[in-house]
Structure 1
């Protein structure tokens, strides 16, 4: 089962930087991300979602592959496999892109937009679904970014460790 973690950061680019760092740590098998999204609230107050998984593109590619396969088979039976292949790919890509646009994977978009309205203008937030994490190795890497924990589904002990790690950087910023 995955855990949801939502952390806000000062600056519109900070959440992107943290996500890049988390992806590097994922390659080292220190964290296993199921889904991630960066929410940016511009200085004018407009909320932008940056999905980590582009479902429209994935749907179009997958649909084109399946459509091409089935179109080629139908075209082979009708003695015109190239026409069947081209038609199948076009129809498959269109329906795949449509299904990708209509599907919602992972973290609910409405939840992210409503939470994004509550962060300060000119800041960003990172929404992640985490399958597994090695807190002892990941938390020290996140300290330089600071941040404020908004919501989690972690245990109380894990949430407190995360808060302390992020707030230790925030408190050192205010004393300097």
Structure 2
């Protein structure tokens, strides 16, 4: 089962840099990302989504390849397989791109936009859907990253550990709001 984690950042570029770090950790098999989306809310308050998986490109590529295959086979019937491959590839790529642009994969875009509209203007958020993760190693790699957990499907204990790791040293949080440390 996958876990959803949404974290807000004060900078409009920090979510991108954290996603880059997660991608590097993916190469080291520390994390298995099913989906990731960066949300940036500009100074005017407009929410922009940056999908990590471009379904239009994937659809066009796979549609073009299957179109070429089927076009070549049909072209053999008419003794012109090259023309069949060309026509089939073009039609397949077009249909694949169209179906890819209409598809939604992973995290629901409506949910992302709704939650993304709650972050402050000129800031960003990172939404990740995780299949597997080695939490201790990933949190150690993300040391120095400061964010605020917006929503997770993690257990309350794991969510608290994540928020503590993302909080600035010496600052406690309660529900995402900074709280001054208790006086000794």
Q: TM-score range, shorter-chain basis?
A: over 0.9
1:3-152 correspondence to structure 2 within 5 Å: 3-152=3-152
CA distance in 1, matches of 2:169, 2:42: 24
Which deviations, in whole Å up to 9, do the C-alpha atoms of 1:121-164 show, x marking residues without a partner?
Answer: 01000000001111111112223120000000011111111011
4+ residue segments displaced more than 6 Å: none
Structure 1 residues 170, 64: CA separation in 2 closer, same or farther (over 3 Å shift)? Answer: farther
2:154 aligned residue: 154
Question: TM-score, normalised on structure 2?
Answer: 0.91
In 2, are the aligned partners of 1:35 and 1:128 still within 8 Å (CA)? yes
Secondary structure in structure 2 of the residue aligned to 1:124: strand
Shift of 1:168: 3.5
CA distance in 2, matches of 1:52, 1:171: 32
Answer with 35-44 or 138-147: which moved more: 138-147
Structure 1 residues 68, 169: CA separation in 2 closer, same or farther (over 3 Å shift)? Answer: farther
CA distance in 2, matches of 1:44, 1:168: 28
In 2, are the aligned partners of 1:39 and 1:126 still within 8 Å (CA)? yes
Structure 1 residues 38, 170: CA separation in 2 closer, same or farther (over 3 Å shift)? Answer: farther
CA distance in 2, matches of 1:84, 1:36: 38
Secondary structure in structure 1 of the residue aligned to 2:158: helix
Shift of 1:169: 4.5
Shift of 1:114: 0.8
How many residues are paired up? 174
CA distance in 1, matches of 2:87, 2:161: 55
Which deviations, in whole Å up to 9, do the C-alpha atoms of 1:31-56 show, x marking residues without a partner?
Answer: 11000000000011110000000000
Coordinate RMSD, CA, aligned: 1.6
Q: Which has the higher helix share?
A: 1
Q: Which runs of 5+ in 1 are unaligned?
A: none
Which deviations, in whole Å up to 9, do the C-alpha atoms of 1:10-63 show, x marking residues without a partner?
Answer: 111000000000011111111110000000000111100000000001000000
Secondary structure in structure 2 of the residue aligned to 1:143: coil
Q: Which runs of 5+ in 2 are unaligned?
A: 173-177
